[in-house]
Amino acid sequence: MKSIKQQSEHLFSDASESSLHGFKRLPVSLAAITAALLVLPLSGCFEPRPQQTKYELTVNTAASLYSDYDFGGDSLPFGVTLQVDPSVLICCEFDRVVDGDTIIVHDPDGNRLRVRLTGINAEESVLEDESKNTDEGRAASAFIKDLLSNVDTVYLEYDEAQFDQYDRTLAYVWIDTGSTYVMVNEIMLATDHAEPVYIKPNLRYADTFRQYED
């Protein structure tokens, strides 16, 4: 089996030898997206920059891979739709995944934060009582681990309430693809690894999240 790096090199090599339209019928895997993220500079904080609503169709960027594979047409990967103003984001060092809707990060002051992804709920996968864990929960956990496997930096966006009753940080989690930012919360919904939940006062993206209801 080829490594992620080999897959990435193969995809970019093929893209440089043939037209972009020739790729649209190829099968898509999470490894392809992970490979794209691998070759991007995903560490360090950013200077705010204007967001793009569409990716540039070039053969030497991960953006071209997303467009080639027709994730959400020529817009965003996984069919997601949301964009963000970078000035509202908090740059954090990514540590690890806890489960399908919770991650550990370190904020700019070095504080360790247990972040619960706002507006979504994934089934259980790490409870001490194994009978309460589900295959769907384990799949969600595996998916987000793969998605973030080559990410060093994530960006948090807070809603009205920043903490829940368990003192977990509540946030929309964004990752930098090199051309724009995509929200992990929405990716989990778009790929059927989580369901939307609506808990006041954090309803900023409720209208968008409703499109992912079963």
In this predicted model, what pLDDT tens digit does every residue of 95-131 receive, in sequence order? 999 999 999 999 999 999 999 999 999 999 877 888 8
| Best CA proximity match to 187, nearest among 23, 30, 27 | 30
Q: How far is CA 16 from the centre of its chain?
A: 27
Q: Is the pLDDT of residue 168 over 50?
A: yes
Give the start-to-end residue ranges of the domains of the chain: 4-79, 86-212
Tokens representing 33 are 């997206």
Which pLDDT band, with edges at 50, 70 and 90, does 77 fall under? confident
Tokens representing 172 are 């929309």
Give just the sign of the alpha carbon dihedral 52, 55, 59, 60: positive
| Best CA proximity match to 122, nearest among 188, 78, 186 | 188
Return the CATH class of domain 86-212: mainly beta
Question: Could you read off the pLDDT of 140-167 as tens digits, one per residue?
Answer: 999 999 999 999 999 999 999 999 999 9
Q: HSE (CB half, 13 Å, CA atoms) of 15?
A: 22
pTM for this predicted structure: 0.68
Quote the percentage of the chain above a pLDDT of 90. 53
The residue with greater pLDDT, 35 or 103, is 103
